[in-house]
């Protein structure tokens, strides 16, 4: 994916969801972006027979939108008895600056 494509995708999301996902504070349950450290992905990918990672939308106990992600095996089944990722660094407050994706 190119930077231009990422910007186009992001603009579509903001158009569809309005300012709720723009990071401008319209909906405290939505984040403009989620960031994750590489260790969680490595931990998931190191599980036996893990072929990749699948992402699902979710709502946490605080009522905030989040992403859940789990590995899947060679048969395409989720690996649910292993590590499941769900705790992002939310933007705001941990936001990038000046990259053109969020602006």
* Domain segments of the chain as ranges: 3-91
Per residue in 41-92, pLDDT (tens digit) is 999 999 999 999 999 888 888 877 788 899 999 999 999 998 998 888 877 7
Higher pLDDT: 32 or 56? It is 56
CA distance 66 to 20: 13
Q: Is 100 left (phi over 0), alpha (psi -120 to 50) or beta?
A: left
Q: Which residues are paired to 38 by β-bridges?
A: none
Higher pLDDT: 99 or 50? It is 50
**Does the pTM of the predicted model rise above 0.75?**
no
């Amino acid at each position: 994916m190119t930077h231009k494509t990422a910007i186009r995708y992001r603009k579509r999301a903001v158009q569809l969801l309005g300012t709720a996902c723009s990071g401008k504070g319209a909906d405290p349950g939505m984040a403009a972006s989620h960031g994750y450290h590489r260790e969680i992905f490595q931990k998931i990918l190191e599980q036996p027979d893990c072929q990749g990672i699948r992402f699902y939308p979710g709502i946490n106990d605080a009522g905030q939108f989040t992403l859940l992600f789990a590995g899947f095996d060679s048969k395409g089944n989720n690996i649910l008895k292993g590590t499941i990722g769900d705790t992002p660094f939310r933007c705001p407050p941990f936001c990038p600056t000046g990259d053109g994706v969020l602006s």
